[in-house]
Amino acid sequence: MFNAAYFGVPGAYSEQAAIKYLGKASKLKGCKFLPEVFESADTDSRVGVVPIENSIEGAVTQTYDLLLKSELSIVGETILEVSHCLMAPEGTRMADIKMVYSHPQALGQCREFLDSHKFDSVPFYDTAGSARMLKETKIRNTAAIASERAAKVYGMDVLARKIQSSRHNYTRFLIISKDTKAKPPNKTTIAFSAKDKPGSLFKALNSFADNRVNLLYIQSRPIPGTPWEYNFYVDCDGGINSSNVKKAVEELYDNSDFVKILGSYPRARFGKNV
């Protein structure tokens, strides 16, 4: 039994988030794809650690889609400061680089650096995975974007540090689990779809305002098979059992075709968790 499953391979930012949340002594399992993290958290791992939002590139939309399908709940979150490095196999010079591999989120976070050097971007499933791939294949004239820890794990030369477009680059990670016995919650994540009639979305969101519930975040995702219709995801202040959140959710049911509580959990406080 693993303490946690995380997205990626050793050296991935999700692994760092798992260590930060659970401690260095935790037994961790890397997963190549996000659905595997959910599967592992449902079978052979106590929790899963998945990225949900980056301060530069925004939402990790696949995570939202998987949360909607899964029976797992969000039981916690943590925030990690992300500092990207350009790395390549030993002996590679910056002038040699033509292509750069990394996860699409990392490539987007480093867009200004990549464009300034006229590097071709190649999407890969994971940041640390791209470093491992270059180590194993020794592709010429190619680099990867990943963490400095990944460079140490895979013996890569770091050619440039802190290459993200903003110095203030953070990723928020969710902790998902079957076990919902968590610390007292003060944040709740809810998915819903508004009724198909005028004013329904306004009424759905107004359920929170009328009950003095502070909305922290809202994200929309297309509903598969129904073009131009959407599921909405909201984060709000307060645990699901607090009177004002409970009342807001009751009213939300009246104005929605579908409502699912994705989790109620302790909120990661920016500054204390970074």
Whole-prediction pTM: 0.92
* pLDDT the model gives residue 271: 61
Backbone angles phi, psi at 2, to 5 degrees: -90, 150
Backbone angles phi, psi at 182, to 5 degrees: -115, 180
* pLDDT the model gives residue 180: 80
CATH number for the domain running over 187-265: 3.30.70.260
pLDDT digits (tens, 9 = 90+) for 110-148: 999 999 999 999 999 999 999 999 999 989 899 999 999
Q: Can you say how many angstroms the Cα of residue 38 is from the centroid of all Cα atoms in its chain?
A: 13
Average pLDDT, the chain: 94
Catalytic-labelled residue, pool 63, 78, 171, 188: 171
pLDDT digits (tens, 9 = 90+) for 247-273: 999 999 998 999 999 999 999 987 644
* pLDDT the model gives residue 138: 86
- Do the domains 85-161 and 187-265 sit in the same CATH topology, yes or no? no
Distance (Å) of CA 221 to CA 58, 62, 191, 233, 274: 13, 10, 10, 8, 28
Place of tokens 């107004």: 206
pLDDT digits (tens, 9 = 90+) for 144-202: 999 999 999 999 999 999 999 998 999 999 999 998 876 789 999 999 999 888 889 99
User: Could you tell me the pLDDT band of residue 70, with boundaries at 50, 70 and 90?
Assistant: very high
d(CA 82, CA 109) in angstroms, rounded, equals 10
Tokens of 91: 């002996």
CATH classification for the domain delimited by 2-82+171-177, as one of 3.20.20.370, 3.40.50.1460, 3.30.70.141, 3.40.190.10: 3.40.190.10
Residue ranges of alpha helices (H) inside 98-225 are 104-109, 111-116, 127-137, 148-153, 200-210
Give the start-to-end residue ranges of the domains of the chain: 2-82+171-177, 85-161, 187-265
- The verdict on whether 171 is a catalytic residue reads yes
Tokens of 56: 């530069």
Give the full edge-to-edge strand order of the sheet including 157-161: 120-123, 99-102, 142-146, 85-88, 157-161
Q: What's the full length of the chain, in residues?
A: 274
User: Could you tell me the pLDDT band of residue 241, with boundaries at 50, 70 and 90?
Assistant: very high
Catalytic-labelled residue, pool 173, 192, 208, 232: 173
Report which secondary-structure segment, H or E, holds 245: helix 243-254
The 10 Å Cβ neighbour count of residue 113 is 19
Mean pLDDT, to the nearest integer, of 213-225? 94
pLDDT digits (tens, 9 = 90+) for 33-62: 999 999 999 999 999 999 999 999 999 999
Topology of the domain covering 85-161: D-Maltodextrin-Binding Protein; domain 2 (3.40.190)
Question: Are 37 and 48 in contact, with CB atoms under 8 Å apart?
Answer: yes
Question: Are 88 and 130 in contact, with CB atoms under 8 Å apart?
Answer: no
* pLDDT the model gives residue 179: 87
